[in-house]
Amino acid sequence: MSEEKTKVTDLRSALEVLSQYDDELIYTDEPVDPIAELSGVYRYVGAHGTVKRPTQIGPAMIFNKVKGYNDMRVLIGLLSSRKRVARLFGTTPENLAFMLKDSVSNPIPPIVIPREKAVCQEVVHLATDPDFDILKILPAPTNTPEDAGPYFTLGMCYAADPETGEHDVTIHRLCVQSKDEISMYFVPGRHLDVFRQKAEAAGKALPITISIGVDPAIEIGACFEPPTTPLGFDELSIAGSLRNQAVELVDALTVNARGIANAEVVIEGELVPNYRVREDQNTNTGKAMPEFPGYTGAAQAEVPVIKVKAITHRRHPILQTCIGPSDEHTNMAGIPTEASILQMVERALPGFVQNVHCPSPGTGKYLAVLQVKKRFAADEGRQRQAALLAFAAFSELKHVMLVDEDVDIFDLNDVIWAMTTRYQGDVSTVFIPGVRCHPLDPSSDPAFSPSIRDHGIACKTIFDCTVPYNLKANFQRSEFLDVDVNRFIPGFTKK
Ligand code: MN
Sign of the Cα pseudo-torsion (116, 119, 124, 126, in order):
negative
Return the pLDDT at 407.
98
Mean pLDDT on 44-58: 98
Sign of the Cα pseudo-torsion (131, 132, 138, 139, in order):
negative
Give Cβ neighbours of residue 447 (< 8 Å, ≥ 6 apart).
none
Quick one: how far is CA 15 from the chain centroid?
Answer: 19
Q: How far is the CA of 133 from the centre of ligand 1 (A)?
A: 31
Q: Are strands 206-212 and 353-357 parallel, antiparallel or unpaired?
A: unpaired
- Is the confidence at residue 3, as pLDDT, over 70? no
**Residues labelled as active-site residues:** 291
| pLDDT digit string, tens, across residues 183-242 | 999 988 999 999 999 999 999 999 999 999 999 999 999 999 999 999 999 999 999 999
Percent over 70 (pLDDT), the chain:
99
- Is the confidence at residue 6, as pLDDT, over 90? no
Q: How far is the CA of 218 from the centre of ligand 1 (A)?
A: 13
- Is the confidence at residue 456, as pLDDT, over 50? yes
- Is the confidence at residue 2, as pLDDT, over 60? no
One-letter amino acid of 216: P
Return the pLDDT at 494.
83
Whether a cis peptide bond, with omega within 30° of 0, leads into 359 is no
Q: How far is the CA of 293 from the centre of ligand 1 (A)?
A: 22
Q: How far is the CA of 223 from the centre of ligand 1 (A)?
A: 8
Residue 105: helix, strand or coil by DSSP? helix
- Quick one: DSSP state of residue 81? S
Whole-number Å distance between alpha carbons of 387 and 399: 9
Confidence class for position 5, pLDDT limits 50, 70, 90: low
Give CA torsion, residues 88, 407, 383, 221, to 10 deg.
Answer: 10
- Is the confidence at residue 105, as pLDDT, over 80? yes
Whole-number Å distance between alpha carbons of 363 and 411: 16
Output the pTM of the full model: 0.96
- Quick one: DSSP state of residue 422? S
Q: How far is the CA of 219 from the centre of ligand 1 (A)?
A: 13
Q: How far is the CA of 90 from the centre of ligand 1 (A)?
A: 26
Sign of the Cα pseudo-torsion (311, 313, 316, 319, in order):
negative
Cβ atoms of 53 and 37 closer than 8 Å: no
| Ramachandran class of 121: left when φ > 0, alpha when ψ lies in -120 to 50, beta otherwise | alpha
Mean pLDDT of all residues in the chain?
97
| pLDDT digit string, tens, across residues 266-315 | 999 999 999 999 999 999 999 999 999 999 999 999 999 999 999 999 99
- Is the confidence at residue 1, as pLDDT, over 50? no
Q: How far is the CA of 236 from the centre of ligand 1 (A)?
A: 10
Q: How far is the CA of 249 from the centre of ligand 1 (A)?
A: 18
Cβ atoms of 168 and 158 closer than 8 Å: yes
- Is the confidence at residue 486, as pLDDT, over 50? yes
Q: How far is the CA of 14 from the centre of ligand 1 (A)?
A: 25
Return the pLDDT at 457.
97
Residues with CB under 5 A from ligand 1 (ion): 168, 191, 229
